[in-house]
Structure 1
Amino acid sequence: MKSCRPHPMPAPPDGRRSFPKPLLAVIGLVLVSRLGYHLAGVRFDASSLPWFWQFVDPALLRSNLAQSLWYLHSQPPAFNAFLGAVLNLFAGHETVAFTFGYLLAGLIFTAAMFLLLRGLGVPDTPSAILTGIYVVSPACVLYENWLFSTYPATVLLLLTALFWQRFVRRGRSLDAVLLFAAAGLLAMTWSLFHLVWLLGLVLTLVLFRRKDWRKVVLAAAVPLLLVVLWYGKNLVQVGEFTGSTWFGINFSKMTNSMLTIPERRTLYDNGTISAVSLLPPFSEPDKYYGALPKPGRTGVPVLDQEMKPSGVANFNNALFVAVSRQYGRDARRILTVQPVAYLRGLAESYLIYYLPANAYLFLDNNATRIKGLARLASILDGRFFYHTDRSLRLTRPAQYYLQGFLNTGWFLILAYALVLAAGLALLLRPSPFLPQPPSLFLLWFNVAWVTLLANAFEVGENNRFRFVTDPLVFAFLAALVSGWLARRRRVRTEA
């Protein structure tokens, strides 16, 4: 990696002056916009609480929170800990607490985006305007009003980017501590942000700030230790050094689920795959008992419970450790003998990835109340077609994938391609109108991480995954344009 020293330019504000008035204006805009969306019928949707696969049974979160979190292997623990805290502290008023909690997260999102843009050299007024446009968008509001980890994860990633930018510019220990606090909490919220991702942040930050390597190591030590201990806890309990034991099941959707029924049956008959892969991923526990032995009772409800009171399976049941391993083994065999299945899955994941973020099933309760705005947002993302015949996927795949491509947000594809290409070019050769390679690196790294890894190993909710990095793409492009305009002004002045 070449040394990336900033090119001379007016330094962005360092945050030591008074609270910026444009940020106050944007916060006011957020509050007014939320009132407007409320009048349009948007309400916080907590209907996911009793039945989402990623959530521990609310009754267990209320009555046995500590034990349920300790034996949670399917997910990192942070979001279920948040759910449990709200259920216990605000019993009977959970939805109100979630509503105000997510609104607070939205205000933090607003401040973080404004300060990030400002730190990247975008002047105050454009930073305020751009932040305002983003935070009042339908996608931002819909995710802010849906009980899931996506919106908190987005805020944490944005905070990570903000404090990264501040630390590489100023080298303050507090910024490093806040950076790794946000990154560590993100790793304990969503397994996509793996221990490897966290280590990558540490190593690259040391490269960019070699003289401050001790500050980096000290700031990262506790978050790294907590993540390693959590992975180690899972290794001891279930034999997997991981944040989530679902990898095999998710990867099966990229391979096994892309086979035709005759293809799958042939692979089973010749012994390539097991009987587990004849079942759809995330089937109910009793469906697997003919293929895998039923585990003995552990005395721990979150491991023994087969079905939640809502009628949905408990996918943290001890059985699913073995289920996921077997799906994973079968998926690797399918990848070897039938690689075209994986290519189908890869194509599918990217087609979904570039759908507008608001085109997501679990947002429909609120999206139907703002159909006109949601449709306008999709057009601004470059989506102009709304028809896909899924029955064509296996019968006429060329036509199916063409339909899928036409359904995507073309402007989203262009924006992501530009950021990925510009970021890579910036690493190899710093540009005179991209003056802060170390500051921009984290934006590029996270966009690349999610775009490549999330789509390589899972299919189904990929546009939800992309929502988390959309603010980073937005900020990168804003910095790109702002830097270019600043350079043009300097050239004119010098002329």
Structure 2
Amino acid sequence: MQDELLAQVATTHPPAASHRDAARAAVPAAVRSAARSGAGVSAVLWGALYTLAAFTGQRFSTVTVATDWQFAPLDALSAHPLRSVWYLHVQPPLWNLVVGVLGRWSPFSLALSLQLVMLASGMVLAGSIASLLRAMGLGRRWVVVVTLVATANTGVLMYGFLPLYELPVAALLALTVCLATRRSTRMHAVVAVSLVGTAVAMTRSLYHPTWFVLVLALVMWTHRSSLSRRVIMAAVLVPLVVIGGWSLKNQVLFGESSLSSWSGMNLLRSVEPAIAPTELAALREDGTISDVAVVGHFEPYSRYESVMPPCSPTHRDVVLTEALRYPAPTAGNPEPLPSPNFNYECFLPVFDQAGSDALALIRARPGAWFTARLWAINNWFCAPTEREPSNSAVVDALNKVSSVALVAVAHPTTPSSWKAYPGLMSPHRTPISLVLIIATFVVMVAGTRHLWRLLRSKADNAARSLVIALAAVITGWTFVVGVVGELGEQERFRNMTDPIVIAVAAAIVIQWWVGRGPSRLRQRLRPTTTVPVAALVLIAGLVIVGVRQGPPAQSVIAAAAAGQPTLASLASGSPTTVGSSDDNPPSGIGFFDTSTDAPPPSTEAPATTTTVAMPAPACHHIVHLGDSNLGLSLGMFRDVYARAGLDPVLDFANGRGATQAADGGSSAVQAVAQHQHDVPTDRRCWVVALSDVDAMESARDNIDPATSIQLIADAIGGEPTTWVTPVLASATSAWTLQASTAYNLALLRVASEHPNITVVDWQDEALQHLDMFLSDGIHYQAPMYLLLTHAVITHLAAVWDLQQ
């Protein structure tokens, strides 16, 4: 009886150790393993940093879902995700499927749903990087430190605030390497790699099925001793059914068996920007290329329609029958601009012709192709920065930390010939990262060595060798394909491999130092001492960066309130400040009043104008070229021109510059050529309201803005032209007042050499109304657009003979 009672007491009140054992048993083994390895800590820290950035002002933007080329039209994708994805041919389907399913069935808004996906992707990325570092033999504290450097720098973190697939693909790539070293009886490593690798290939066209075969073959070779027929069949069957089945679907529906139909257009973009327009025209005349190459890459279908055979879609789904897509109006953008739908079925023959033209250009101008490859390599190693302006103090601090941690240094001098063709596709001259250059070299050299060891079955540590070899295969593939076949998006490509490259290279260097460094220093350089030393170095670097950059101004308005002189006033030699309350208003950049006793600009005249030395030209057909600001004031300009009895052609494109435009729009040079053909020459005059993007990129890349201005002026020729100066007012991004002022000074120089060009000093007028700028420092509130239209029409009436 006593024994039974004691047994009952023991059962009811187990010892404390039994409580601990029970609690430990309740925690899944995977969670305990992640906590021990540092993967769980790294994932939680990444998630906390991302959440902190979001709650301190970093916005998640969904604009790109409705405008980016990779997406099917959003309204159709959200209403019928499965059907819309079935008819997708420009991209592998997985990311479009994710967006469509969330838009259709998620209980949350699309923005919140996508942000949760990005949060999860970032945490998976951090956890996977930490796990592969442990597989390489790194200690837990080192794992956490290296993982944060590799995954929480600005370039990686900021992609978490855009609905693009870069961060999810980076997570999948890291997970592929992580799973390749796993030991589990539930699912063989080869099968796990097959599943995740298939997801990568079905998300990003850069990772062609050939890449997947290379990765899977390497993993199967490493695990060959444990492979069974069942495992091999499962690993091969997954990609065969998914990738092969989708390719077969594309072949049946569109006659294209690839996962992405626009590879030919990408190839054209890789070489065409490095060839001058005059050379392209000559090659077209001798029959080397078609008109498609002359029109350019990724233009709206209307630009190709006249140079291609007649086309009608054979399918009826809206994702294939609409050449343009129209984003839904929002409170901030009540009249959104349409953008090309590159999934439009009639683009298929255009893509094929673009590929043929690209190959012809490479054969005819191999030097230009090689130069473009140098541009691409140059762009590859530019230091990552935030893609969008941020109001978050956390992101601002993180950007400075990243610059120090990745050792961002000034860009070296490049050949002067590289300045010939400014634009998005041209070589960037932003700071380069020494860490990324060295890390890439270390990974490729070490990866080649360990790959050879694996193939010869002589690896001392198979798991470590497999991680390094896979890192080299992934990095090498991304670099070669991203440089050889593309131009302009190298930063996006590299961003997907940055975490793996930085982490693996850091682990190699740390382990080399611990194993071979001087013994006395080796004993001192442990995480407990190294991390504080690294923190002190980082703080010193931040101080240096802060001293060089000066105190950050939150806005131009804040600078004005502090009474700081602006570049505009300094350029004119005047001590006035933006928003000054003195009797004399800001003098702008002094374009036209060169005498010291010139009267101040009248507050009644919206803009200063030049004195015309020639007789006033007669103008009736007005070709008005602009960017997004024209799109936002389209109705106002249409009404103003109508009241003046003029015949206007209003042509705008987002992000338009001399040789580029966003969202598939036509560049300024291309638009000029089109309207010279379409608009009657009699009494034809031009209004050029460009270019914010050229001003920003010229300042960012240290290019003389006169180059892009001269391209537009030469394209127009000697016809009457009025040029509206751009004005930028951001102090938290590259769209700065300094950039627009430098552009406008260059514009004045070019205009002085062309008697047909007059200038509207819109910057001078706009700086008197800083409260009317939106937060991006580029666009305005509605009353400001009324001032802009009034400034332009007043100037035209003063310098031209406007005829009804």
TM-score (norm: length of structure 2): 0.55
* Structure-2 residue corresponding to 1:219: 235
CA contact (8 A) 2:312 2:346 kept: no
- CA offset at residue 447 of structure 1? 0.6
- CA offset at residue 221 of structure 1? 1.6
> What SS does the corresponding residue of 1:191 show, helix, strand or coil?
coil
Matched-pair identity in % = 24
Q: Which runs of 5+ in 2 are unaligned?
A: 1-28, 328-337, 523-804
What amino acid is the match of 2:135?
G
- CA offset at residue 50 of structure 1? 1.1
Q: Distance in 1 between matches of 2:209 and 2:70?
A: 20
Q: Distance in 1 between matches of 2:265 and 2:33?
A: 51
> What SS does the corresponding residue of 2:390 show, helix, strand or coil?
helix
RCO higher in structure (CA 8 A, sep ≥6): 1
Q: RMSD value over aligned CA atoms?
A: 3.1
CA contact (8 A) 2:190 2:219 kept: no
2:508 to 480, 486, 491: 480
Q: Distance in 2 between matches of 1:486 and 1:166?
A: 26
Q: Deviations over 1:414-465 (max 9, x none)?
A: 2111211221133345787998323321111001100111111001111111
Which piece of structure 1 moves more, 294-303 or 50-59?
Answer: 294-303
> What SS does the corresponding residue of 2:382 show, helix, strand or coil?
coil
Q: Distance in 2 between matches of 1:27 and 1:348?
A: 36
2:321 to 299, 304, 322: 304
CA contact (8 A) 1:142 1:367 kept: no
Distance 1:368 1:20, change over 3 A: closer
* Structure-1 residue corresponding to 2:195: 181
CA contact (8 A) 1:433 1:487 kept: no
Matches within 5 A, 1:2-401: 18-21=33-36, 22-90=38-106, 93-166=109-182, 173-213=187-227, 214=229, 215-297=231-313, 298-310=315-327, 311-358=338-385, 363-366=387-390, 370-385=395-410, 393=418, 395=420
CA contact (8 A) 1:454 1:462 kept: yes
> What SS does the corresponding residue of 1:166 show, helix, strand or coil?
coil
* Structure-2 residue corresponding to 1:10: none
CA contact (8 A) 2:190 2:223 kept: no
Q: Deviations over 1:307-351 (max 9, x none)?
A: 001300100011211111111101111111110111121111111
What amino acid is the match of 2:418?
R
* Structure-2 residue corresponding to 1:418: 442
1:468 to 485, 496, 499: 496
Distance 1:393 1:42, change over 3 A: same
> What SS does the corresponding residue of 2:292 show, helix, strand or coil?
helix
> What SS does the corresponding residue of 1:452 show, helix, strand or coil?
helix
Q: Deviations over 1:260-319 (max 9, x none)?
A: 011111110100000111112111111111111232132121111110013001000112
* Structure-1 residue corresponding to 2:666: none
- CA offset at residue 388 of structure 1? 9.0
What amino acid is the match of 2:390?
N
Structure of larger gyration radius: 2
- CA offset at residue 207 of structure 1? 2.4
1:447 to 456, 462, 475: 475
* Structure-1 residue corresponding to 2:433: 409
> What SS does the corresponding residue of 1:271 show, helix, strand or coil?
coil
CA contact (8 A) 2:215 2:473 kept: no
> What SS does the corresponding residue of 2:278 show, helix, strand or coil?
helix
Which piece of structure 1 moves more, 477-486 or 278-287?
Answer: 477-486
Distance 1:45 1:486, change over 3 A: same
Q: Distance in 1 between matches of 2:31 and 2:514?
A: 23
Distance 1:484 1:30, change over 3 A: same
* Structure-2 residue corresponding to 1:437: 465
> What SS does the corresponding residue of 1:75 show, helix, strand or coil?
coil
CA contact (8 A) 1:234 1:240 kept: yes
Which piece of structure 1 moves more, 469-478 or 332-341?
Answer: 469-478
Q: Distance in 2 between matches of 1:120 and 1:149?
A: 28
Distance 1:151 1:390, change over 3 A: farther
Q: Distance in 1 between matches of 2:476 and 2:106?
A: 39
What amino acid is the match of 2:500?
L
What amino acid is the match of 1:463?
E
CA contact (8 A) 2:439 2:506 kept: no
Distance 1:18 1:452, change over 3 A: closer
CA contact (8 A) 2:482 2:493 kept: yes
* Higher normalized helix content (fraction of residues): 1
Q: Distance in 1 between matches of 2:250 and 2:176?
A: 26
Q: Distance in 1 between matches of 2:75 and 2:304?
A: 26
CA contact (8 A) 1:252 1:281 kept: yes
Q: Distance in 2 between matches of 1:485 and 1:417?
A: 17
- CA offset at residue 172 of structure 1? 7.0
- CA offset at residue 17 of structure 1? 6.2
Q: Distance in 1 between matches of 2:360 and 2:154?
A: 42
* Higher normalized strand content (fraction of residues): 2
Distance 1:469 1:92, change over 3 A: closer
- CA offset at residue 471 of structure 1? 1.4
Which piece of structure 1 moves more, 29-38 or 77-86?
Answer: 29-38
Which piece of structure 1 moves more, 90-99 or 319-328?
Answer: 90-99
Which piece of structure 1 moves more, 292-301 or 206-215?
Answer: 206-215
